[in-house]
Amino acid sequence: MGSITARELPAEALLNKYREQGAYTDCYATEMALPISHADFVEAFYTTPLFKLERLILALLLGRPASDAQARELAKGRLDRFAAWTVEGRAENQLLLCDFQSRTRSWLMVEAAADGRSTRLFFGSAVVPKLDRRSGERRMGAAFVALLGFHKLYSRLLLRAAVARLG
């Protein structure tokens, strides 16, 4: 398993529009020494034991359950709602999801090597600033600042779990 590194968003990333609008964005990537389809990556990502814990929390706290079968349908492009997210964008090798409050985005992308023998896997997020009604400015808020370190660690762990499931 390759290392997981923070990277700039690729130029074609569906998440770029949020970076351009001033939202917080991140991008993590790793290489796998085998061909991986986008559908296999999406299904693996959302069916890892770590993500199943997140799904359980969303089901219990928000009443938004999701199953492995739904993750598979999402991955195949046959489902546009999954737990707390809806599909905002799709491309042949990408998926962009928006949370039910329209504050965060999750993005998955694969990039095959020219020789077809390896695949780069990407996972990224966007957090859209909230409008401060008093000042009229968009701000991230104290909760974002407090949880950013956890978010970065959790993002790497989610990608690593997907890689382990694919490997």
pLDDT, tens digit (0-9, with 9 covering 90-100), for 110-148: 999 888 899 999 999 999 988 778 887 887 777 888 889
Closest C-alpha among 123, 97, 122, 124 to residue 111: 122
Strand partners, 31: 120
pTM: 0.93
Structural domains counted in the chain:
1
CA 107 vs. chain centroid, Å, equals 4
Which residue range(s) make up the domain with 70?
Answer: 5-166
CA–CA distance, 4 with 104 (Å, rounded to integer): 22
Average pLDDT of each block of 10 consecutive residues along the chain (167 residues)?
Answer: 90 97 96 96 98 96 96 98 97 97 96 92 94 79 85 97 96
CATH for 54? 3.30.530
Q: Which residues of 138-153 are buried (b: 16+ CB within 10 A; e: fewer)?
A: eeeeeebeeeeeeeee
Closest C-alpha among 99, 29, 25 to residue 58: 99
